[in-house]
Amino acid sequence: MCGIVGIASHEPVASLLYESLIHLQHRGQDAAGILTSDQRFYVKHGLGLVRDSFTSDNISSLHGNMGLAHTRYGTSGGYSEVDVQPLWVGSPRGIALAHNGNLVNYRALADELRSVKHRHLNSSLDSEVLLQIFADSLHDARAEDDEAFFQSLVKAIHMVHERVEGAYSVVSLIIGRGLIAFRDPHAIRPLVFGERKNADDKSDYIFASETTPFYALGFEPKGDLAPGEVAYVSLSGKLYRQIVTPRVFTPCAFEYVYFARPDSTLDEVSVYRARLRMGQNLAKRWMAAFPDVLPDIVIPAPFTANTAALSFAHELNVRYSEGLYKNPFIGRTFIMPNQSTRSRSVRHKLNPQRTEIENKKVLVVDDSIVRGTTSREIVKMIRECGAAEVNFVSTCPPIVDPCFYGIDIPSRKDLIAATHTHEEIERYLGVDRLLYQTQDDLVEAITRRGVAFKRPCMACMDGKYVCGGITEEKMKQLEKVR
């Protein structure tokens, strides 16, 4: 999972890209990069948070009215600066690319590029393989007018769709041509776009992982790229769009559960409203399962569970309390690099409020239980503050399978619901009662208002990998690599 953004503007875009990354920081905190273009590429990469990777001086050195930016959360590749996006190649033309997702057949494609195409791969990123394949597919594109080039681009994207398996939302720049954005045929990873009208009635365009930067930069949301769609903004500012290779529309459910910011709208679904409905559905399930158990307070595991906890408390007519204060300067523990770091950082970032907890029957609402590490530490902290009872609910169903499409859920052995029974999880967490959202209730919460897809990708919950080709043997290979 990463955050990507591409902007085509009438003015220099470096500062706009920087601001966009600030609004996408929650999608990755390993590294960040900005690339801009006029007749050449200007690039700045850095490790760590966006604010630590750039200065006003190096932002001002990034020239051009078109550009890409990326904030990294590594699910493949290493952790050195060579593995930071955007990436670029100089042949067959200057092409740059930033990618969000994971390629399932990355190893086979990389081996083919090395042995058949005799290409040197400079990083361990699957994004570099995607860049090489995209560049290769454009090799025969003729330098004609914009309309003819767009048709060549459509053919090239179709070749990418036919060869590349997995999840990929992409923004790209081609020197002398313009800005490109495209999405995989199942549209697993999000890609939204917006428009900003100028005084001369011409438009600037933005393509991004979420709508979060749009308001601050003055862009009006215009929707999402469809499954298998490509969009192209020429140097003259004209927008071209075409659906190339549509398949079953299955956007990632975990975006709505956890990853996206609540003020985002993805694939016509308000993340905030979806989380309200998750809490509502879960509360009804709680009342059915435990009709005689009413907590004194409902506490969210901040911040991603706040919205669901609010509607959960409302449905039960119980007081909502922010009994855990979160230090906003500590990163997201889910994307910390290892288990011990996650356990330690939970206590660094969360402080329980004894006055809200002591002698009370507490119900904690969390967005999900993946490894169980964070949940267990939260329960310990609440117990230490004298809670009379601790119940725990998850707005996400049990996570029992790895994700190969861009979420850091690498192996079954790391997933508590895949290796423990419900009763064993209750004992491990140290809770009086545990309740998970059902899969049907999660789907209903996401799709209630009528959307273009029937069921999101829930492979980590139901084992149904939408791209196919994930056998037990393949799964073991991919788990070993990661």
Which residues are part of the catalytic machinery? 2
What gap in Å lies between CA 63 and CA 103, rounded to an integer?
31
Angle, alpha carbons 365-366-370 (nearest 5°): 145
Structure tokens at 443: 């789907």
The DSSP-derived string for 425-447 is: HHHHHT-SEEEEPPHHHHHHHHH
CA-CA distance, 415 to 150, in Å (whole number)? 44
Mapped onto helix, strand or coil, the DSSP state of residue 393 is strand
The answer to whether 4 and 68 are in contact (CB under 8 A) is yes
Residue with tokens 């393509």: 207
Which one, of 103, 104, 124, lies nearest residue 474 by Cα? 104
Cα–Cα distance for residue pair 458/188, rounded to 1 Å: 10
Rg of the chain over Cα atoms, rounded to whole angstroms, equals 23
- Residue pair 350/381 in contact (Cβ under 8 Å)? The answer is yes
Nearest-CA neighbor of 179 among 211, 148, 208? 208
How far out from the chain centre does Cα 96 lie? 21
Question: From CA 382, how far away is CA 323, in angstroms rounded?
Answer: 9
Residue 364 to residue 198: CA distance in whole angstroms: 48
For residue 188, give the nearest of 278, 279, 264, 250 by alpha carbon.
250
Would you tell me the crossing angle of helices 106-115 and 126-137 to the nearest 10 degrees? Answer: 60
